[in-house]
Chains A and B, each alone.
Chain A
Amino acid sequence: MLNARPKLNQMAELVFWIISALTIMSAAFVVLNNQLVYSAVALLFTLFGVAGLYVFLWADFIAGIQILVYVGGILVLVIFGIMLTNKIKSVRISHKSMQQGVGGVVTFWFFIFLFLALTKAPWVVSEAMEPIGTVRGIGILLLTDYLLPFEIISVLLLGALIGAAVLSRGDS
C-alpha cells in the first residue's frame, strides 16, 4: 500500500500537467487560428481542460457547472452565432488577425510581468483537508452569506434573457 501512494501521486501529477498542457495549447489554438470553427472547437477543449483543473482543485461542483453552463450553453451559443453570422460557402471560414506582432510582444511582456509578480509575491498558504464534497457548503453559503448576490444575479439573468429576446426580435 505504501508503494502505491507515491505512484498514484506521480500519476496524478502527470495527468495534471497533461491536462494543463492541453488547456493551454487549445487556448493558443483558439487565438491563433484563422478559422473560426476550428477556434470554437479548440475553445471547447480548453473549457474541458479548465474543468479538469477544477477537479484537481477539489472544486467538483464548479467543474460540473463549468461543463454544463460553459460548454453546454455558452459554447453552443457561440457556435450558433458563428453559423448565423457568416456566409457559409464551405467549412473553411477564415478571418485574418491584426497587429499580431506588437500585440504578441506586449502580451508576452505582460505575461512576464504577471509571472514575476506571482512568483515574488509572498502568498499566505494554508493547507486543508480534502472535503467530501463542496455542493453542500456552496448551497449553504448561497442562501446565508451570499443571499443578496444570488438574488441579484438572478435578476441579472432575467434582464439578460429579456434583453437578448428584445435584441433578436428584429424590426417587427
Chain B
Amino acid sequence: MNSLNSYLFISSMLFCLGLFGVITRRNAIAVLMGVELILNAANINFVAFSKFNGMNLDGHIFALLVIVLAAAEAAVALAIIINIYNNMNTINIDEVSELKR
C-alpha cells in the first residue's frame, strides 16, 4: 500500500489480463470488456503516480478524462455492435470479419 511498486504491479496484471481478453475472446462485447480492463489499468497507473509524486493532481485529471472517454467509446461501440447484430445476426468476431483469409 505504501509502495508505488505494488500499485504498478496490480495495474500491470490488470493490463495483461485485459490484453489477454482482447486477443482471445470471440465475442465483441467480451472484447470490449477487455478493453475496459486495460483502460482501468492505465487509470490506476495515473493515479498511483499522482499520489507518489507529491499529490500532483494532474494524474487525477487524466484519469477523469480517461473515464469520460471510456464512457463515450463504450456507448459508440455498443451502438455499433448492436447494429452489427441487427445486420448479421451474430457478433462473433470471426463470423463478422470480412478480412480475407
Contacts and interface: CB of A to CB of B under 8 A. Distances in A.
Contacts of A170: 86
B interface, size bucket = 35 or more
Contact of B8 (A12, A46, A99, A118): A118
B60 A126 contact: no
B68 A27 contact: no
A172 B17 CA distance: 41
B19 A58 contact: no
A27 B52 contact: no
B58 A107 contact: no
A77 B75 contact: yes
Given A30-B33, A84-B82, A57 B26 contact: no
Interface in A80-106: 80-82, 84-85, 95-100, 103-104, 106
A82 B82 CA distance: 9
A161 B73 CA distance: 10
Contacts of B19: 107, 110
Majority secondary structure, A binding face: helix
Given A13-B1, A97-B26, A115-B12, A85 B52 contact: no
Contacts of A138: 57, 60-61, 64
Interface in B9-49: 9-10, 12-21, 23-30, 32-34, 36-37, 40, 43-44, 47-48
A interface, size bucket = 35 or more
A27 B47 contact: no
A114 B60 contact: no
Contact of B75 (A31, A56, A95, A161): A161
A167 B1 CA distance: 44
Find the residue from B9, B17, B80, B91 having the highest chain A CB count within 10 A.
Answer: B17
Contact of B14 (A27, A36, A39, A106): A27
14 contacts: A24-B13, A43-B33, A66-B43, A70-B67, A70-B70, A77-B75, A81-B32, A84-B82, A95-B25, A100-B24, A103-B24, A123-B4, A125-B53, A153-B68
List the 5 shortest-distance A-B pairs measured between CB atoms, nearest first: A31-B21, A160-B72, A167-B79, A128-B55, A111-B16
Interface of A: 12-13, 16, 20, 23-24, 27-28, 30-31, 36, 39-40, 43, 46-47, 50, 53-54, 56-59, 61-62, 65-66, 69-70, 73-74, 77-78, 80-82, 84-85, 95-100, 103-104, 106-108, 110-111, 114-115, 118-119, 123-129, 131, 134, 137-138, 141-142, 146, 149, 153, 156-157, 159-161, 163-164, 167-168, 170
